[in-house]
Structure 1
Amino acid sequence: MKNIVVFASGSGSNFQAIIDSIGKGEIEAQISGLIASRPGIGAIERAISHNIPHYILPDKSSEATFSEVLLSKLKEWNPNLIVLAGFLKKIPSEVIEQYRNKIINIHPSLLPKFGGKGYYGIKVHRAVVDAGETESGCTVHFVNEHYDKGDIIKQTKVVVSDDDTPETLAQKILKEEHKLLPNVIAEILNNN
């Protein structure tokens, strides 16, 4: 059985989409663990309710400690694929090096537009609306040493309507994220 380790910082709706796809047999794998960036997030509740082991990163750890902790947990959970599902911390280069082309991220825009440091969540959608874009969407890409710069695997586009607000656009795109991310995971794991 192939192992997925998910990293999350928020409600965990993309994490839930992965759990559901595994449950339906669309992804031939199991989630061996969740790395949470902070306590009290929805993703942890989802992990507990599905009996998935989770680990909460220590607050204010140094880059070296962060790297050591991640590598230790990843060794324990032995991932074939690491999925960043709304994870807001930068992955240390030591981790990227050890798991090169085995870490993917979902981003709520059509990269390379509206990506990079500081572009996450509602900030992305606000920038898209403010720029008067007619389309946006979501991107799954490999993670490298630079924010949102890894090779693009797949994208889904949505129309930005004249009456869209950052919030309505976020809802539209999140629905697509919940389809795109499990689809890409299935393609990567089921075909390897």
Structure 2
Amino acid sequence: MKKIAILSSHNGSGLDAIYDAIEQKNLNAEIALVISNNTNAVVLQKAQKYALDSYLINAKTDASPDDEIIRILNEKKCKYIFLAGYMKKLSSKITRNFRVINSHPALLPKYGGSGMYGSHVHKAVIKNGETQSGVTIHKVSENYDEGEIILQIPITLSKDETAETLEIKIKKLERQAIVQALNICLK
């Protein structure tokens, strides 16, 4: 069975999607561990609720956070990493040695790159009068949002769409996209 590590800085909604899919036998994988760089991250509470091993790793806890992440991933024999809102850029030591997958709340290459995450993306989509948005699941490279695209699911925006309503639609769509993409990647 393939082992997945979840890295998240905040809520880790991707963790919920993956956990539920495994429980419902829609994803043949195991969540090996959860890592956050944020002491107050809700994802750490979720990991405890789901009885998953979890770690707080940042510049305050470790002199070299990336090296510590690598050590734990190797210890747990985990080759796959899913980024569920992880707000730190990963070093090439991680991106080149593990299969790192990210979910982005837009149709890349539009609305990607540094600073383009969460509500910032949705606000930009609405401000620019886009008629379509969606979710992109992609492999992670050394550059923000430039890795190979695994899966994209588009949605059409309503005429009265707001950043808030779009975010709700994208989060729902993201749950589906994450599971579909992981089923492709874990074969």
TM-score relative to the length of structure 1: 0.93
Aligned 8 A contact 2:59 2:65 in 1: no
Aligned 8 A contact 1:9 1:37 in 2: yes
Residue 61 of structure 1 deviates from its aligned partner by: 7.0
SS of residue matched to 2:96: helix
The counterpart of 1:153, out of the listed 139, 150, 154, is 150
Q: Report the counterpart of residue 144 of structure 1 in structure 2.
A: 141
Q: Distance in 1 between matches of 2:60 and 2:52?
A: 25
Aligned 8 A contact 1:83 1:105 in 2: yes
SS of residue matched to 2:143: coil
Aligned 8 A contact 1:5 1:77 in 2: no
Counterpart of 2:39, as a letter, is: P
| Structure 2 residue runs without a partner (length 5+) | none
Q: Report the counterpart of residue 121 of structure 1 in structure 2.
A: 118
Q: Report the counterpart of residue 171 of structure 1 in structure 2.
A: 168
Q: Distance in 2 between matches of 1:90 and 1:58?
A: 12
**Matches for 1:1-192 after TM superposition, within 5 Å:** 1-59=1-59, 65-99=64-98, 102-189=99-186, 191=187
**Percent of aligned pairs with the same amino acid:** 37
1:173-192 superposed Cα distances (whole Å, 9 cap, x missing partner):
01000000011112221x2x
Counterpart of 1:188, as a letter, is: C
Q: Distance in 2 between matches of 1:170 and 1:43?
A: 19
Q: Which moved more, 1:119-128 or 1:161-170?
A: 161-170
SS of residue matched to 2:64: helix
Aligned 8 A contact 1:8 1:43 in 2: yes
Q: Which moved more, 1:115-124 or 1:87-96?
A: 87-96
Q: Distance in 2 between matches of 1:94 and 1:65?
A: 12
Aligned residues: 187
Q: 4+ residue runs of structure 1 moved beyond 2 angstroms?
A: 58-62
TM-score relative to the length of structure 2: 0.95
